[in-house]
Amino acid sequence: MKLALPKEIVVTNQITIGIIGDFSPENPTHLKTNSALTDASRLLARDIGIEWLSTVELESASSGERLRRCDGLWCSPGSPYQSMEGALTGIRFAREHGVPFVGTCGGFQHAVIEYARNVLHCADADTEESNPSASNLFITRLVCSVFDKTLTVRIKPGSRVSQYTGKAEIAEHYYCNFGLNPDSKEAIDKGGLKVTGEDPDGEARIVELPEHPFFVGTLFLPQQSSTAAAPHPLIVAFLEAAGSVVSGQWSVAG
């Protein structure tokens, strides 16, 4: 099905990115998210508008109006969010409406939970970080903390991320202590949210939806290694996908 732009939208050079999360100027990963997007937009010679979308505000009935104004959605680090349901609403909107999406750290974790609840029909899917007593934990504490570490990620050949990075192995920075429950890995992968990046021990580090125009979750933070001189290729690819929405160049299967 061809994605039609609403008649009232005037195509411009500006890409509007909505960041799902609760912005704090004291959170260095939030500041790096902003600067990484700006640096990537300069490389692409595109104007960018960045809007942080409070997870509490995304609980409201009018959240769809704000989400529809965005050419791409990024679920930021910083979990537990003020509203888990608000974060899941934003992720679900991106997944169901074909909006280019990237989720990093907490964004990766909540992309997994959203998929488990709404696609795999595991209504009780949860995260140990905010609900340790939950009966169906898709996100659990990592056996070995990766907080503030740079570690190797092995990328599955033929995956979208392998195309974006052009590499089979990358070194990336982490800022979290929770990840995909190893016991849930097979269910997620077989259910369609493909695990396309792993650490040397086989722990999931990247997930993506192959049939979506752009839907990638990374447990690591590509924004941390992104610089003005060398924007991270995953972030550049994300903005290129969002820019294609502005230009009306891509379509959604269905």
pLDDT band at 246 (very low <50, low <70, confident <90, very high): low
pLDDT > 80? residue 237: yes
Identify whether the C-beta of residue 208 lies closer than 8 Å to the C-beta of residue 165: no
With respect to residue 7, please indicate whether it lies within any of the assigned structural domains: no
The CATH number assigned to the domain holding 201 equals: 3.40.50.880
**194-214 CB burial, b ≥16 within 10 A, e <16:** bbbbbbeeebbbbbbbeebbb
The whole-number pLDDT of residue 245 equals 66
With respect to residue 19, please indicate whether it lies within any of the assigned structural domains: yes
> What 3-state class would DSSP assign to 220?
coil
pLDDT > 70? residue 1: no
The whole-number pLDDT of residue 74 equals 98
pLDDT > 60? residue 251: no
Give the domain range for residue 58. Answer: 14-247
The whole-number pLDDT of residue 8 equals 41
CA distances from 112 to 7, 31, 39, 78, 246 (A): 34, 24, 28, 16, 27
How many domains does the chain contain in total? 1
**With the CA atoms of 120, 124, 187 and 114 taken in that order, what torsion angle do they form, in degrees rounded to the nearest 10?**
60
What ranges make up the beta strands (E) of the chain? 14-20, 47-53, 72-75, 101-104, 125-127, 136-141, 150-155, 169-173, 178-180, 194-198, 204-208, 215-218
Distance CA 144, CA 93 (A): 33
Reported as a single tens digit per residue, the pLDDT across 135-164 is 999 999 999 999 999 999 999 999 999 999
Q: H helices of 63-203, where?
A: 63-68, 84-97, 106-118, 160-165, 185-190
Averaged pLDDT score across all residues of the chain: 92
With respect to residue 70, please indicate whether it lies within any of the assigned structural domains: yes
Considering only CA atoms, which of 54, 103, 238 is closest in space to residue 112? 103
Distance CA 220, CA 147 (A): 10
The mean pLDDT of 98-122, rounded to a whole number, is 98
With respect to residue 53, please indicate whether it lies within any of the assigned structural domains: yes
pLDDT > 60? residue 27: yes
User: pTM for the full model?
Assistant: 0.91
With respect to residue 253, please indicate whether it lies within any of the assigned structural domains: no
With respect to residue 6, please indicate whether it lies within any of the assigned structural domains: no
pLDDT band at 6 (very low <50, low <70, confident <90, very high): very low
With respect to residue 211, please indicate whether it lies within any of the assigned structural domains: yes
Q: Nearest-5° angle of CA 194, CA 165, CA 195?
A: 15
* Side chain identity, residue 73: L
With respect to residue 156, please indicate whether it lies within any of the assigned structural domains: yes
The whole-number pLDDT of residue 13 equals 75
170 forms beta bridges with: 153
pLDDT > 90? residue 9: no
Considering only CA atoms, which of 36, 47, 86 is closest in space to residue 232? 36
Reported as a single tens digit per residue, the pLDDT across 57-89 is 999 988 999 999 999 999 999 999 999 999 999
The whole-number pLDDT of residue 12 equals 55
